[in-house]
Chains A and B, each alone.
Chain A
């Protein structure tokens, strides 16, 4: 058996026996994603139903007051407009509805809200939608009753049609927005928990010198550690998918809004995701080990790793918004590390893989992985790096 494999097996054995690794690299992503989705589901479910939209309304005999309650709004009465406005300004009420007098058949409805509070804007929107629908209904009745031709009321008829190539198999919007980001960051964060131990920790614990005194070449030692860390990074990234799949299978409250088209991850998109992920994992693993090798001790390693995590998180975060721009299909994006992988995972999940872009992305990740691996081997041969503590 090659020394590389011996080092690899020993590193993996140690890692899986480390409670810290099991918690942060595997259970952590599953737990976090389930909690995240539960919170999202709860919030989404809350704001989408009228009975959950709380409004304050000035006491009135207007039939529109009754309409609010009839349509399922959670109405709290206030005695005066002044009192209601104060509650909105203090954040104790989301929105205040005051019914004015009817004049020439037009009933005045005043809606007071706080522009700076998102929840107030949502409530205002819900109230406006309700009365807008009432206006449309009244208009429809009038048109029918008076046999007014459509050409007078709606001279322009707009019809929208979905012509997406793949009707089935695309993941839901929610998944497409979140998953690439989670996959990429967990590939890094999962390895972070153990990376500081792999070289800096060995220096601190005085086990590195014993390893260096064996006849195994430094390159083989580095390769064995790199392979072990790559496995942990990959499994950590996939753990977030496990959490997602578990959530979609259990279908708790709010999940119907997030997974309205189901989990939507097809075998092809899953395979492409894996193909894109592996070179990225290789890059992350070699970067993490290089940092750990350079650091004098685990504390220093964790400081450097923390800084490196910012560099990783920025492009990963941007991948959540790239679909809102034209950049997603730009060729040069495939030369931007991390963002290229996240973007192509996003396209694979949408059922629109670009194989040229995928090839470019894999190439970039592999080149970076090789560069970092070369740097690590160089560091492993520098006695100033290895024996300083």
Chain B
């Protein structure tokens, strides 16, 4: 379970106070894929960074797997797996060394570590390149190693921050199938993206984020009904206040 109440993150920069995330509240449950849908710069990554304890909230609170992100950050981190296309692998380690290293950092050792390594190698078909340096892997192979690193310690909560960005259709398919499997195995999955088709395929419920604020929450169908639109794309645009037709009056969700 992931729960946020009034979660906010404000930054001070040269132009003044920037509210990257402002009063965001939602709840994601086990066995569910919860989507964070928003354009680039909407606040999705900042939200996930707060949930993974990389950033401290300016206001509000958040709980991940029953642990408060500010009071028990280490327990939160032990309970999550985080995957993003922007995060890289250590080029001078082999694929297996990479996964094993992170397994160790998550507290896996000895027989348990070896068992999990065998599982992810077999599950993600890493055998053919597990002893190759990460620098020498293809994009798709790197993605599979990233997935392996994310799930090795079998966390109850998984965060995916635009995991298919820059991937070809085959690699994207692998990632999306994996996310669906995670839901089936009862994990709480938060999936951030700006790609409508992925949301429609994967997400059980969505939160629409724009300019750091929540503009709507619900299933794909409920958001379409709420906005009176046939497509998720138009429903999204309506919720964030983007006029698709100059004569339309926009209203935020």
Which positions in A face B, CB cutoff 8 Å? 1, 3, 6-7, 10, 13-14, 17-18, 205-207, 209-217, 383, 386-387
Contacts and interface: CB of A to CB of B under 8 A. Distances in A.
Nearest to A381: B56
A206 B101 CA distance: 17
B178 interface: no
B93 A387 contact: no
B92 A387 contact: no
A292 to B, nearest CB: 16
29 contacts: A1-B104, A1-B109, A3-B105, A10-B90, A10-B93, A10-B101, A13-B92, A14-B90, A18-B92, A206-B86, A207-B89, A207-B90, A210-B87, A210-B149, A213-B52, A213-B54, A213-B80, A214-B77, A214-B105, A215-B74, A215-B78, A215-B106, A216-B105, A383-B54, A383-B56, A386-B54, A387-B49, A387-B54, A387-B55
Interface residues of B, number: 30
Contacts of B104: 1, 3, 6
Contacts of B106: 214-215
Interface string B100-119: 01101111010000000000
Nearest to B46: A387
Chain A contact residues: over half helix, strand or loop, or mixed? Answer: helix
Nearest to B149: A210
Contacts, number: 65
Contacts of B53: 213
B192 to A, nearest CB: 15
Contacts of B49: 209, 387
B243 interface: no
Nearest to A18: B92
Given A18-B92, A207-B89, A383 B55 contact: yes
Nearest to B75: A215
B92 A17 contact: yes
Nearest to B77: A215
Contacts of B97: 10, 13
Contact of A205 (B77, B82, B88, B149): B88
Given A6-B104, A387-B54, A213 B82 contact: yes
Interface in B46-105: 49, 52-56, 74-75, 77-78, 80, 82, 84, 86-93, 97, 101-102, 104-105
Given A14-B92, A209-B87, 15 more contacts: A1-B104, A205-B91, A206-B87, A207-B87, A207-B88, A207-B89, A209-B54, A209-B84, A210-B102, A214-B105, A214-B106, A215-B74, A215-B78, A215-B107, A387-B54
A386 B54 CA distance: 9
B109 A213 contact: no
Nearest to A216: B105
A258 B59 CA distance: 69
